[in-house]
Amino acid sequence: MNINTLFLILILIGTYLNLYLMLNNKRQKQKTKLPISSKEWREKIDDENFKSWLSNREKLQHKRKEDMNP
């Protein structure tokens, strides 16, 4: 087996490996369509947290009024 033949085989293996990895990488980069964007999700969570904070605040104020007026 000639050294040039060996190099040619190695180049072919490298080329096919590069092609396989490139196609596999493209397949992984395809984005899936999410039902809600991350910005909308963040706004939803912030809104829920704010509503929770408001209700807790009202409960505490109500409790303080009850404690002050026995």
Determine the pLDDT at residue 70. Answer: 60
- What is the rounded average pLDDT of the residues 44-56? 92
Which three-class secondary structure state does DSSP give residue 62? helix
CA distance 67 to 28: 60
Q: Residue 49's pLDDT band (boundaries 50, 70, 90)? A: very high
Determine the pLDDT at residue 16. Answer: 96
Domain residue ranges in the chain: 3-27+37-68
Residue 61's contacts (CB-CB under 8 Å, 6 or more residues apart) are none
pLDDT digits (tens, 9 = 90+) for 8-43: 999 999 999 999 999 888 776 666 777 778 888 889
